[in-house]
Copies of this chain bind each other. A is one copy, B any other.
Amino acid sequence: MSPRPRRSERHPDLPTAIKDTAWKQIARLGAPTLSLRAIARELTITAPSIYNYYPNRDELVTALIVDAYNSLADAQVAAVENLAADDFSGRLSALGHAYRQWTVSYPQRYQLIFGTPIPNYHAPEDVTVPAAARALVPLTDVIQAIHSAGYLRTERFAPMTPRLESMLKPWQEHGGGYDLEVLYLALIIWSRVHGLVTLEIGNQLPASIVDPAELFHREINNILNQYL
């Protein structure tokens, strides 16, 4: 019988250790299997002690989701912070590659944000929506800079329709006054990058595509050539 460990002896920062362990388990078995008891087991503590830090399982999941969004947003910000403000193609390209790099580096985080939701869990939108919005800001900023400088080839996408404008305007008003064309293109570029990354980490690409980064690299260049 070893003596009860001193408080915090094994886990100097237990709330963080709990989240770290949660991430490990999501990586290993997928988000839907996340369980407080399994986390406690791995930390060799008892399950009820988790309740000292998170009032229930859902609040822990929410904390993980927010962390994941912030991590993505941070990665996007970091990708461009050392590039010249007028290096438009460098910035766009860096954001695309950072998006893929983040996904392959942290597939658990990607899975938690974009994958099938956790059973019986409903995300509180007032917390997750702002966190999600942050992740798109760097991309939108770059496209706005390109457009403001007059280099965005808006003739490469069909002219705005009233229907499209009416869908983009609420976002424009609520989201910082970007031009409508900029918002539109941000969505489209995001979806192209996201589509390829999603197929890659979902293992949907044909088995012979052993280096999806090559496909990705070409598609980024294709986007640059098309719109810049």
Task: Please list the residues of chain A having a beta carbon within 8 angstroms of any beta carbon in chain B.
Answer: 29-33, 111, 114-120, 129, 132, 156-158, 161, 163-164, 167-171, 174-175, 187-188, 190-196, 198-199, 202, 204-211, 214-215, 218-219, 221-222, 226
Q: Which residues of B contact A204 (CB under 8 A)?
A: 114, 132
Residue of B nearest to A31 (CB): B116
CA distance A118 to B175 in the complex (A): 36
CA distance A215 to B157 in the complex (A): 11
CA distance A134 to B161 in the complex (A): 37
Residue of B nearest to A210 (CB): B167
A125 to chain B minimum Cβ distance, whole angstroms, is 9
Residue of B nearest to A221 (CB): B158
Decide: A171 and B206 in contact? CB cutoff 8 A.
Answer: yes
Q: How many protomers of this protein does the assembly include?
A: 2
Decide: A157 and B30 in contact? CB cutoff 8 A.
Answer: no
Select the residue from A194, A210, A222 with max chain B CB neighbours within 10 A.
A194
CA distance A221 to B161 in the complex (A): 14
Residue of B nearest to A133 (CB): B206
CA distance A202 to B32 in the complex (A): 16
Decide: B198 and A32 in contact? CB cutoff 8 A.
Answer: no
Residue of B nearest to A205 (CB): B187
Partner of A196, one of B132, B195, B210: B195
Select the residue from A29, A120, A156, A191 with max chain B CB neighbours within 10 A.
A191
**A222 and B116 in contact (CB under 8 A), knowing A210-B167, A214-B167?**
no
Decide: B163 and A211 in contact? CB cutoff 8 A.
Answer: yes
CA distance A103 to B188 in the complex (A): 19
Decide: B198 and A167 in contact? CB cutoff 8 A.
Answer: no
Decide: A202 and B30 in contact? CB cutoff 8 A.
Answer: no
